[in-house]
Structure 1
Amino acid sequence: MHVPDGFIDVPVSVAAGVVAAGAVAVSLRGARRELDERTAPLAGLVAAFIFAVQMLNFPVAAGTSGHLLGGALAAILVGPYTGVLCVSVVLLMQGILFADGGLTALGVNITVMAVVTTVVSYTLFRGLVKVLPRTRRSVTVSTFVAALVSVPAAALAFTGIYAVGGTTDVPIGKVLTAMVGVHLLIGIGEAVITALTVGAVIAVRPDLVHGARGLTAPLKLRVGGELVDAAPAAVPVAAAVAGTGTGAGTGAGPGTPAAARSPRRLWATGLVTALVLAGFVSFYASADPDGLEKVAADHGIDRKTEEHASADSPLADYGVEDISDARLSGGLAGVIGVGATVAVGSGVFWAVRRRRHGNAVSPSTGSAVGGNA
């Protein structure tokens, strides 16, 4: 759903840029409460993973494909404010390095793909987990529904923006029907990918999943023959809720508290997975146009599309300039993109975490820093 230059007129693009800048500013402040020494590196990894999976277009209808937007995935894994920043970093890297998504339309893309998807999905997710039983299955079901709804919500938001600032005169009712219809199908793929990814992380490190923090319970201590709640810095027991047990699958000893274990193994596994997806699996992605491209071509939205400002980038269109072998060129571009995204994203999130003013307890004490936003 990357909006190119020329779809939206200048005044509305500027207005969307102001909205996006405001959302990023608010998210930078909010992310300070969500990030700590363990989750800041994970946020950079989430951005890189979203970049990689967005290269994997999957077929959804005759001649149409879709790809992950990632707002729900980022919000549930690392928090809604950090989630907005994750997707924004991905969109920035795609626009500058790969000529994917217009630079004048960057504000529109951040508003639609980062802000709308994150706000809608996380609001729905939190509402569902509050009314459903406090189990791992409830988190997975809530994740699936939230991710599914976030995609047509983004399509609806784009249609609204186009109705105000579109550069071609097209029947908005037909555009709305086409956009929401095809993105409902894409939303199913988004939901499956998001639920599987969140479920996989919960299975091994539930303490690192922002959306599962509400499933933690206080540690009980026996004092004078009575059970009492331990201090707030008690060890999270989300692992017990997830059915994995303490230390499962992490290389830590059976007595190691989950919050005290390093996320290094999870980070390394995630990075390798992202590199494989972008560097190898992406070659087999669908070549059909995505939902927005298909609707734009069918309804004439793309008649005034402008050439991308980064069209002469050596990585434009996800290929490396002067490398003729398509598999090698695309794979190398994907690897470069993952590396650049994880580097920029990790740097941003590390800087955000450093700006905290000493109001967070060290994670070695087991405290759930940041809490639910």
Structure 2
Amino acid sequence: MHLPDHFLSPVVSASAAVVAAGGVTYSLHRARAAASRERLVLASVTTGFVFAAQMVNFSVLPGTSGHFMGGALAAALLGPWLGIVVVSAVLTVQALVFADGGLSALGANVLLMAVVGVAVATGLTALVRKVSGHPLPLLAAGLGAALSVPASALVFCALYAMGGAVPVTLNELVASMVGVHAFIGLGEAAITVAVLALVMALAPGLAFADARAYSPSSLLPGVAGLGAAAVLCGAVLSVAASSNPDGLESVAAAYNFADAAGSHAFASAWFADYGAVSGIPVSVVGVVGTVLAALVAAAVMLPLKRSSSVSPAS
């Protein structure tokens, strides 16, 4: 659901960017409390995985594909604040290096996939705990993932209603966007549950959603398993990804606002369109992007660790 430039009016895009920037800034502030070495290492590897998994489009309907968003998984592994930071880092790298998602639409993309995605997943987790009386992390993460995708689609419809490129009947847009993204949400849930289960099996207590006691010796198996999954997605599964348009692209084509996007400012860059422009094998791009996303996240979050270790008196 990467919005390109010009799907939304400049005013709506700017407004979404302000809200997204506020959400990310507040998340960075709150994330200091969770900035342990283990959590930040896991956050960097999670960023790499989310990037790699987003490269693997999967078929959901005839002629339409979907891809992983990652908000629910990031929240389950890291908590809501680091989760928002992680997904935002992925989206920023995609827009600036791989020409995936418009530059003026970056704020809207962060709002939809990072802020809304994590918020919905976090809310569902709290609801599951309240209703059941138990954390039930896999169930909560799966439900949060399944609902976060159509919820983000619904928020997009609200933004489009406030300033879309082409007049569209709102009821029809909502039905189409939420409908196709409900199917994509099923894939989101399956990936989220599988990866969370992997980390919980390899590193009990490491994930934010895992209430079991944590042993430092489990950090390496946990991040190694998640890193291996990232490489599998970026280097292998990305080659077999569906080439069909994703849910947003399909709806945009159906309602005649796909052409409003125009070309990306970095459309001729070396890694644009994940190597398609320069002829770089997608598997190579997948590995490079996975590592780059992880390094960017580490650079962004390292100051959190330093500030959390400095007492107010110092």
Q: Same fold (TM over 0.5)?
A: yes
Q: Which amino acid in 1 is paired with 2:19?
A: V
Q: For 2:184 and 2:30, how far apart are their aligned partners in 1?
A: 30
What do the CA deviations read for 1:203-244 (whole angstroms, capped 9, x no partner)? 22131111223xx4xxxxxxxxxxxxxxxxxxx2xxxxxxxx
Q: Residue in 1 aligned with 2:234?
A: 278
The letter of the residue matching 1:45 is: V
| 1-structure distance, mates of 2:194, 2:223 | 17
Work out which of the residue numbers 345, 352, 368 in structure 1 matches 2:297.
345
Q: Where do 1:137-216 residues align within 5 Å?
A: 138-213=136-211, 216=212
Q: Name the counterpart of 1:56.
A: 56
Whole-angstrom distance in 2 between the partners of 1:320 and 1:170: 32
The one-letter code matched in structure 2 to 1:111 is L
Runs of 4 or more off by more than 4 Å in structure 1?
Answer: none
Give the Cα–Cα distance (whole angstroms) in 2 for the partners of residues 260 and 335 of structure 1: 27
2:89 aligns with 89
Deviation at 1:322, TM superposition (A): 4.2
**1:69 match: secondary structure:** coil
1:180 aligned partner, one-letter code:
V
Q: Which amino acid aligns with 1:302?
A: A
Identity between Structure 1 and Structure 2 (%): 39
Name the CA distance, whole Å, in 2 between partners of 1:358 and 1:69: 34
Over 3 Å counting, the alpha-carbon distance change for 1:152 and 1:322 in structure 2 is: closer
Specify the alignment match of 2:308 in structure 1. Answer: 356
**1:329 alignment partner AA:** P
Aligned 8 A contact 1:320 1:332 in 2: no
Counterpart in 2 of 1:67? 67
Residue identity opposite 1:333 in structure 2: V
Instruction: Give the residue type in structure 2 aligned to 1:30.
Output: R
What amino acid is aligned across from residue 215 of structure 2 in structure 1? Answer: A
Report the 3-state secondary structure (helix = DSSP H, G, I; strand = E; otherwise coil) of the residue aligned with 2:281: helix
User: 1:177-215 deviations in whole A, cap 9, x for unaligned?
Assistant: 0000000000000011101111111122131111223xx
Conserved? CA contact 2:28–2:85, under 8 Å? yes
Aligned to 1:335, which of 287, 295, 298?
Answer: 287
Aligned length: 312
Q: CA deviation at 1:320?
A: 6.2
Paired residue secondary structure (1:355): helix
Question: What is the SS of the residue equivalent to 1:261?
Answer: helix
Following superposition, the deviation at residue 156 of structure 1 comes to 0.2
Aligned CA RMSD, in angstroms, stands at: 1.7
- What is the alpha-carbon distance in structure 1 between the residues aligned to residue 277 and residue 79 of structure 2? 37
Q: Matches of 1:320 and 1:192 in 2, distance apart?
A: 29
One of 242, 260, 281 as aligned partner of 2:216: 260
Q: Which is richer in helix?
A: 2
Residues in 2 aligned to 1:35 and 1:150: alpha-carbon distance in whole angstroms? 25
Displacement, 1:262? Answer: 5.4
Deviations 1:29-49 (A, max 9, x none): 111112201110100111110
AA aligned to 2:70 is G
- Gaps of at least 5 residues in structure 1 are 217-235, 237-257, 360-373
Contact kept, 8 Å, 1:20 with 1:108, in 2: the verdict is yes
8 Å contact 2:49–2:230 — kept in the other structure? yes
8 Å Cα contact 2:76/2:137 also seen in 1: no
Checking the alignment, whether the CA contact within 8 Å between 2:274 and 2:282 is kept in structure 1 is: yes
Q: Distance in 1 between matches of 2:129 and 2:191?
A: 19
Instruction: Give the secondary-structure state (helix, strand or coil) at the position aligned to 1:60.
Output: strand
Deviations 1:55-111 (A, max 9, x none): 111100010001111100001100101000000000000001111000000010000
Q: Distance in 2 between matches of 1:194 and 1:122?
A: 14
Following TM superposition, by how much is the alpha carbon of 1:170 offset from its aligned partner in structure 2, in angstroms? 1.4
Distance 1:196 1:26 in 2: 30
Whether the 8 Å contact between 1:57 and 1:67 is mirrored in structure 2 is: yes
Aligned pairs for 1:208-247 (under 5 A) are: 208-213=206-211, 216=212, 236=213
1:298 correspondence with 2:254:
yes
In the other structure, the counterpart of 1:311 is: 267
Q: Kindly name which structure, 1 or 2, has the bigger radius of gyration based on alpha carbons.
A: 1
1:353: Cα distance to partner?
A: 1.7
Give the whole-Å Cα distance in 1 for the aligned partners of 2:31 and 2:219.
Answer: 19
Amino acid at match of 2:287: V
Amino acid at match of 1:311: A
Q: Which whole-Å CA distance do the structure 2 matches of 1:148 and 1:321 have between them? A: 33
CA distance in 2 between counterparts of 1:195 and 1:156 reads: 23
